[in-house]
Amino acid sequence: MDALIVNTYPVTARDYTSAGHASADIKRRLKQLGVGGDVLRRVAVASYEVELNLVIHSDGGRLELQVFPDRVQLTSSDVGPGIPDLALAMREGWSTANDEARSLGFGAGMGLPNMKRNADDFDIQSEVGKGTTITMGFRLQ
Amino acid sequence: MKVSELKELIGAVSLTPEVSEDREVTCGYTCDLLSWVMAHGDEGMAWVTVQTHLNVIAVAVLSDMACVILPEDIRMEEEPLQKARDEGMVVLTTKLTAFEICGKLAAAEIPGKAIG
């Protein structure tokens, strides 16, 4: 099935000022399409978490929004550094965020578990030295 | 309770007077770890925090909160305030501490989690 909307947002590493722009636009677009309530909130939270993860942890990447008649798909892909231990990264409270991120109130180790909790489908693939890809699906019915 | 009534209750002033205070407050929360708040934020929430940077507004908007409350007369820079105005988010500040604000909200029977 072809996507109704496909949009890609480049996300710059360590740019805390622009962090949230992509997720705000995603929320706005979905709202225009008539998506609301619980699904909109879950997509908004998950997209912000994944965008922030790109800013805090990655060497740069992009976030892609795809809207199908029955679902929304968010795909985050970055160019590194990759996650050595995925099981540990998925654990609540575990974080490798630096002091700058922590001083802004990030780095509670809630990002990945929170994405998984909010998405209907969650998949993460990572290779050290290559990068990380996260795919999240949200059912619209 | 509406945001305007909550403002009176805690003796706050709005740093975003252009934004309507007509919204219903469904629950209250206090935490300064933004990623923690992202996991526990709720629709209609009144969120008490000492953080004042841009991402505070982003978190409040994305979680569809009713307002952000800054304790101990903390002020916010113009840039995040402008974003709050653009997004229709109320930002309040009061002399009370976070503890005192939460005490008053709890006494007014505002729950820690939205009901339903």
Q: Which of A23, A45, A105 is closest, CB to CB, to B33?
A: A105
Strand partners, A67: A5, A72
pLDDT of B114: 72
Q: Are strands B27-30 and B90-93 parallel, antiparallel or unpaired?
A: unpaired
What number is the average pLDDT over the span B6-27?
Answer: 98
Is the predicted pLDDT of residue B115 greater than 90, yes or no?
Answer: no
Q: What is the Rg, in whole angstroms, of the alpha carbon atoms belonging to chain B?
A: 12
Reference A67, options A49, A40, A45; nearest CA is A40
Helices and strands per DSSP (H, E), number in chain B? 5, 5
Average pLDDT, chain A: 94
Cα–Cα separations (whole angstroms), residue B31 to A14, A67, A84, B91? 23, 33, 30, 16
Is the predicted pLDDT of residue B96 greater than 60, yes or no?
Answer: yes
A26 Rama class: left (phi>0) / alpha (psi -120 to 50) / beta: alpha
DSSP at B23: P
How does pLDDT run across A14-34, given as a tens digit for each residue? 999 888 899 999 999 999 999
Q: How confident is the model at residue A66 (pLDDT cuts 50, 70, 90)?
A: very high
Contacts of A117 in chain B (CB under 8 A): 39
Contacts of B41 in chain A (CB under 8 A): 45
Taking an 8 Å cut-off on Cβ atoms, the answer to whether B38 and A41 are in contact is no
Reference A14, options A61, A73, A48, A77; nearest CA is A61
pLDDT of A26: 95
What number is the average pLDDT over the span A67-92?
Answer: 96
Q: Are A11 and A17 in contact (CB under 8 A)?
A: no
Task: Give the minimum alpha-carbon distance from A78 to chain B in angstroms, rounded to a whole number.
Answer: 20
| CATH numbers and ranges of domains, chain B | 3-107 (3.40.1390.20)
Pairwise CA distance, residues A96 & A85, whole Å: 12
Query: Candidates 2.10.109.10, 3.40.50.970, 3.10.150.10, 3.30.565.10; correct CATH number of A5-139?
Result: 3.30.565.10
Helices and strands per DSSP (H, E), number in chain A? 5, 5
What number is the average pLDDT over the span A78-96?
Answer: 94
Q: How confident is the model at residue A37 (pLDDT cuts 50, 70, 90)?
A: confident
Is the predicted pLDDT of residue B116 greater than 90, yes or no?
Answer: no
Per-domain residue ranges of chain A: 5-139
Contacts of A45 in chain B (CB under 8 A): 38, 41, 62-63
Is the predicted pLDDT of residue A76 greater than 70, yes or no?
Answer: yes
Residue A87 CB burial class (10 angstroms; 0-12, 13-18, ≥19): exposed
Neighbours of A102 (CB within 10 A): 15
Is the predicted pLDDT of residue B24 greater than 90, yes or no?
Answer: yes
A53 Rama class: left (phi>0) / alpha (psi -120 to 50) / beta: alpha
